[in-house]
Amino acid sequence: MSIEGREAPTADALSTPGVPVRLGRVESSQLHAYLLDVDDDLCADIDVRMRFAARHMVTAKVLDAECGGCDLEPWLAAAGRGPGLLLVNGLMAVDTCIAERTSTELLGAGDLLAPALHRDEEMVESRCSWRALEGTRFALLDSEFLDRTRPWPQIVKSLLSRAERRAEDLALLRVIASHPRLEVRLVLLLWHLGGRWGRVEPTGLRLTLPLTHRLLGQLVAAERPSVTHALSRLSDTGVVTGATTDLHLNGSLDANLHTLARPHAKVTPLLAQRRLPRHRVG
């Protein structure tokens, strides 16, 4: 079972046998948590008879980030040659800024933040920053974690799959941002987010995320005022309704795109027939 489709693990589950530490300077704490208790997808390919032994060895330090900006550089550096930071629960916005323009991606439970690769041949300078859109919890997967998991290469393979999934999501976001019409970009983005964080309703999907017009603009390469006007037009056609933090995607993606091709038509609510990966059923 994926972390996304269930309730967030409790503090007790995460802090056994250790106690989580808060984001700040890196400390030499040896307190750890049983990672497979909160992310059992990591052991999906491990023989059931071996999982008990793996549970006691696959431990990681737990970090908490309060809502707002946070500096992950010290923690990524602390990962050393390990995989990096694994999001256990919460929601994180990763901002990349180049020449005063900012592009954003959203990360949630199960996503992996790897230490940045510094390439000597890169001529374009970029800056990266992180914002917790809600209380977010990480597991620090450092070099010691890598050593402890050596007997179970399936765990590293699963983490590599998380990194590949993030790369695929970034490629999809790039294609979405390249569409010339902003309304279409927003509809494609919202259905993309709905596949992971949406709840199926009789008339479509409900997407409850701490989104703002500015954040949506950074996700689809648009200015905040343009996003505001585009959402208003989408609401007028009945394609997307509700407040930004509680959006209703009415009908299906195909019906939405068809409606946008005929701006004066009203969308007919239809339950999307395609399978929605990693969604939460309401």
The model's pLDDT over 253-262, given as tens digits with 9 standing for 90+, comes to: 999 999 898 7
Total of domains in the chain: 2
Segment 117-132 mean pLDDT: 85
Q: Is the model more confident about 271 or about 114?
A: 114
Cα(60)–Cα(54) distance, rounded to whole angstroms? 13
Pairing of strands 84-89, 136-141: antiparallel
Query: Do residues 150 and 187 both lie within one domain?
Result: no
> 112 pLDDT exceeds 60?
yes
Average model confidence (pLDDT) for the chain? Answer: 84
Segment 57-65 mean pLDDT: 91
Tell me the CATH number at 195: 1.10.10.10
φ, ψ of residue 43 to 5 degrees: the values are -110, 20
pLDDT of residue 21: 56
> 222 pLDDT exceeds 70?
yes
Query: Do residues 130 and 257 both lie within one domain?
Result: no
In a domain, 266, yes or no: no
Cα(79)–Cα(115) distance, rounded to whole angstroms? 7
Tell me the CATH number at 88: 2.60.120.10
Query: Do residues 147 and 238 both lie within one domain?
Result: no
Query: Do residues 152 and 61 both lie within one domain?
Result: yes
> 24 pLDDT exceeds 80?
no
Distance of CA 88 to the CA centre of its chain: 11
> 119 pLDDT exceeds 90?
no
Task: Residue 44: give the domain boundaries.
Answer: 3-158
Query: Do residues 69 and 205 both lie within one domain?
Result: no
Cα(204)–Cα(194) distance, rounded to whole angstroms? 10
In a domain, 142, yes or no: yes
Report the b/e string of 205-232 with b at 16+ CB within 10 A.
bbbbbebebbbbbbbbbbeeeebeebbe
